[in-house]
Amino acid sequence: MEIVIESSAEKATDVVVRLVSSVIRKKPNAVLGLATGATVLLFYRKLVEMKLDWSKITAFNLDEYVGLPPRHPHSFHRFMWENLFRHVNIRKKNVHIPDGLAADIPKSCERYERKIVAAGGIDLQLLGIGTGGHIGFNEPTSSLASRTRIKTLTPRTRKDNAPFFGAPAQVPHHCITMGIGTILDARHCVLLAFGKKKARAVAQAVEGPVSALVPASALQLHPRVTVLLDTQAASRLKLKRYYRWVSDHKPAGTDSA
């Protein structure tokens, strides 16, 4: 696991942009796993500015709320099209987002898993982290081997997402999310976390025990993970000085996973 601590969210975002743009340039038909939320907004804006060729790229999103139609102002379908997809030349048939309106959600989730496999697996999976330590919408106690499925959101997660909806009562109770096992199948996982409110979750995920109570801690089991932090999100890490030393001294062309 490589921990990269930058002085600001923007500088950390620039690192992620370089990572993802390198993947797209080196593998024009790459499969990307994408995330939503405030943490990735700047990343998508900067990525669009790169004017890369997305014509052969395939994208799979982490999650979607159950019950929200694609054009709902707070659906992740709309988030992705407004902030990324409509600004690049990706083919609509290559965009995959869980169907929150599926008549048979379990079967829809099984199809989603099969599509990922058929695409050759995910080359790079972008992740955020919730204040409760979740990745995707894998809430605490999620199975570390879980696959794409329906999940019930915790009151804490619904409260955290309330600003997007106006009030906690308007946040859906359920979602469809890639499972932790699905996420760990990606060849490279890249996690972004900014701000002091993420510091505790980051410390537990990076330096705590691997536990279903902190789903993001499962990333410790992955052979290639890059964690991009600003100084506030890194503030509770015990080995901050070591992580910075590693970043300053690692051999060119390598990571520290």
> Whose CA is closest to 130, among 200, 209, 231?
200
Q: What is the pLDDT of residue 119?
A: 98
| pTM of the entire predicted model | 0.94
Q: What is the pLDDT of residue 55?
A: 98
Give, to the nearest 10 degrees, the angle between helix 76-83 and helix 41-49: 30
pLDDT at site 255: 61
State the pLDDT at residue 165. 87
Q: What's the chain's Rg over C-alpha atoms?
A: 17
Q: In the chain, where are the structural domains located?
A: 2-249
pLDDT value of position 226? 98
Query: Can you say whether the dihedral through the CA atoms of 120, 85, 88, 49 is positive or negative?
Result: negative
The torsion region of residue 253 among left (phi > 0), alpha (psi -120 to 50) and beta comes to left
pLDDT given for residue 162 in this prediction: 87
Residues in the chain, how many? 257
Are 62 and 153 in contact by the 8 Å Cβ rule? The answer is no
Q: What pLDDT is recorded for position 252?
A: 74
Alpha-carbon distance values, 39 to 36, 87, 128, 150, 192 (Å):
8, 19, 7, 23, 7
Which CATH number does the domain 2-249 belong to among 3.40.50.1360, 3.60.20.10, 3.90.1010.10, 3.40.50.1370?
Answer: 3.40.50.1360
- Contact (CB, 8 A) for 191 and 119: no
Please tell me the predicted confidence (pLDDT) of residue 257. Answer: 52
Chunk the chain into consecutive blocks of 10 residues (it has 257) and report each block's average pLDDT, rounded to whole numbers. Answer: 97 97 98 96 97 98 96 95 98 97 97 98 97 95 97 91 85 96 98 98 98 98 98 98 93 65
Whether 219 and 205 have beta carbons less than 8 Å apart is answered as yes
